[in-house]
Chains A and B, each alone.
Chain A
Amino acid sequence: MVAVVKYNAGNIRSLVNALDRLGVESILTDDPEELRSAKKVIFPGVGEASSAMRYLEERGLDEVLKSLTQPFLGICLGMQLMCEYSTENDTKCLGIFDETVRRFPKDEIVPHMGWNNFISHSGVLFEGISVRDSMYFVHSYFVEVGPDSIATTDYILPFSSGLRKENYYGVQFHPEKSADVGQRLLRNFLALK
């Protein structure tokens, strides 16, 4: 069973649909026990950092998410919330990753919206995926490149398109919206032990 973290973030249905297409049973939940006992946890999200963090803290979900031991995948805002700090409304985040979230420069075209490939990537999450393959991105804030980066992409500047620390993974793009390549990445994640 895959648990998808239920919170106040947009378009979670796309992810559940993508898991359905892969024939994977999933449950949308904010119940600590269900999250702890799931084989895998996915933390999706589109939205704003401070209101999302406030929602998680009010329900004690921040502590639950930080203490999980199974493979965990944050997507888009989910990945950003796993970082130390976001400049989006001066938000202290979960602190799983050491990196900081910043806004793209104001005088450039933002959001970064569309299909982009990789400068580099590594590890099992990207098995069978070329650096030339494109994923679908939509974001105005980015994670700087740091020690936890496992994938980097160029838009205005190089940023982290993938992060990993122990059982925690994050991707900035939307695998659930990235056609067959995105589906491959989800399969790679679901195959993790």
Chain B
Amino acid sequence: MLNKRIIPCLDIKDGQTVKGVNFVDIRNAGDPIELAKRYVKEGADELVFLDITATIEGRKTFVELVRHISEEINIPFTVGGGISSVDDAKKLLDAGADKISVNSAAVRNPDLIRQISTEFGNQFLVVAIDAGLINDEWKVFVKGGREATELDVIKWARKVEELGAGEILLTSMQHDGTKIGFAVELTNQLTELLNIPVIASGGAGSKEHFSEVFQKTKATGALAASVFHFGEIPIPELKNYLRNQKIDVRI
């Protein structure tokens, strides 16, 4: 059976992890490689590295970091943040990224999805969708969730699938950082409609939230950041819990 994936997300700025990390036995909590290795050992199924650096210098540092990650890590990883051209994608592929994730640039230029998936295959391309509620309607947000667009989340998701996305990373801005659980209803709507994998993100606060999203939707993975970074939900404990709930996970 295909296992549900548990995916920690690391925010990177100038080559360092941003959010504080609360692992006692980690020497340098700011070192993405050390943190990534720790997650691999704990049983993370994939990792996501999101570059939130805005400067050109920082970008170069990030590509260099991707190269190091690829040397050190023996599970798949996705990189995202600021990718806006086929050339950006190629640099990261050559550095060893398994997948890249695009967000704002795909909204600005949907053809980028077709270009990247034609060039490198759809398995290489994750389209991240940040969803926020405006007048009770789910709209697509860009620029790290700061700017709303007119795009309807469901329609946009259908379009990115058609254009060649291999996977969708759905983050609810309504739930992100709240620890009230994933956006189960929206995730379910998307997974019922689409024939590509959907990763649920935003809102994880307890083990029950993970089992809920896997039991009530067809999401094939769930992503979280702070509950893992601060050790609130250790991954081995989460996986044992999910297995007891009859959810297939890799242990």
A residues with CB within 8 A of B: 10-11, 13-14, 17-18, 20-21, 46-48, 106-117, 134, 136-140, 154-155, 174, 176-180, 182-183
Q: Is the CB of A110 within 8 A of B75?
A: no
A111 to B221, CA, bound (A): 14
Task: Supply 5 further A-B pairs (C-beta < 8 A) apart from A13-B94, A114-B5, A155-B2.
Answer: A47-B120, A109-B197, A110-B195, A110-B196, A114-B2
A117 to B249, CA, bound (A): 11
A115 to B250, CA, bound (A): 7
Which residues of B are found within 8 Å of A115, using beta-carbon distances? 2-3, 5, 45, 250
User: In the complex, which residues 82-106 of chain B have their Cβ closer than 8 Å to any Cβ of chain A?
Assistant: 93-98
Which residues of A are found within 8 Å of B166, using beta-carbon distances? 111, 113
Which residues of A are found within 8 Å of B22, using beta-carbon distances? none
Query: Is B174 part of the binding interface, using a Cβ–Cβ cutoff of 8 Å?
Result: no
Residue of A46, A111, A174 near B196 (CB, 8 A) is: A111
Query: Is B71 part of the binding interface, using a Cβ–Cβ cutoff of 8 Å?
Result: yes
A9 to B250, CA, bound (A): 28
Closest to B118 in A: A48
User: In the complex, which residues 62-78 of chain B have their Cβ closer than 8 Å to any Cβ of chain A?
Assistant: 70-71, 74-76
Q: Is the CB of B98 within 8 A of A114?
A: no
A115 to B4, CA, bound (A): 8
B6 to A: closest C-beta gap in Å: 10
Residue of A10, A110, A112, A139 near B124 (CB, 8 A) is: A10
Q: Which 6 A-B pairs have the closest CB atoms?
A: A13-B96, A115-B250, A134-B250, A115-B3, A138-B123, A116-B2
A117 to B123, CA, bound (A): 20
Q: Is the CB of B76 within 8 A of A177?
A: yes
User: In the complex, which residues 119-149 of chain B have their Cβ closer than 8 Å to any Cβ of chain A?
Assistant: 120-124
Closest to A180 in B: B74
Q: Is the CB of B220 within 8 A of A109?
A: yes
Q: Is the CB of A112 within 8 A of B2?
A: yes
A188 to B93, CA, bound (A): 28
Q: Is the CB of B220 within 8 A of A113?
A: yes
Query: Is B229 part of the binding interface, using a Cβ–Cβ cutoff of 8 Å?
Result: no
Residue of A14, A110, A155 near B70 (CB, 8 A) is: A14
B residues with CB within 8 A of A: 1-5, 40, 45, 70-71, 74-76, 93-98, 120-124, 166-167, 194-197, 218, 220-221, 250
Question: Main SS of the interface on chain A?
Answer: mixed
A176 to B96, CA, bound (A): 12
Q: Is the CB of A139 within 8 A of B123?
A: yes
Which residues of A are found within 8 Å of B97, using beta-carbon distances? 11
B13 to A: closest C-beta gap in Å: 25
Q: List 7 A-B contacts (CB under 8 A).
A: A10-B124, A13-B95, A13-B96, A17-B70, A113-B123, A174-B76, A176-B74
State whether A107 and B121 are in contact (beta carbons under 8 Å apart), knowing that A11-B93, A11-B98, A114-B5 are contacts in the complex.
Answer: no
Q: Is the CB of A17 within 8 A of B96?
A: yes
Closest to A136 in B: B76
State whether A46 and B74 are in contact (beta carbons under 8 Å apart), knowing that A111-B166, A111-B197 are contacts in the complex.
Answer: no
Closest to B40 in A: A179
A128 to B12, CA, bound (A): 37
Which residues of A are found within 8 Å of B76, using beta-carbon distances? 136, 138, 174, 177
Q: Is the CB of B74 within 8 A of A183?
A: yes
A179 to B45, CA, bound (A): 9
Q: Is the CB of B123 within 8 A of A18?
A: no
A10 to B92, CA, bound (A): 11
A18 to B196, CA, bound (A): 28
Q: Is the CB of A114 within 8 A of B196?
A: no
Which residues of B are found within 8 Å of A113, using beta-carbon distances? 123, 166-167, 197, 220
Closest to A138 in B: B123
A150 to B: closest C-beta gap in Å: 20
Q: Is the CB of B196 within 8 A of A10?
A: no
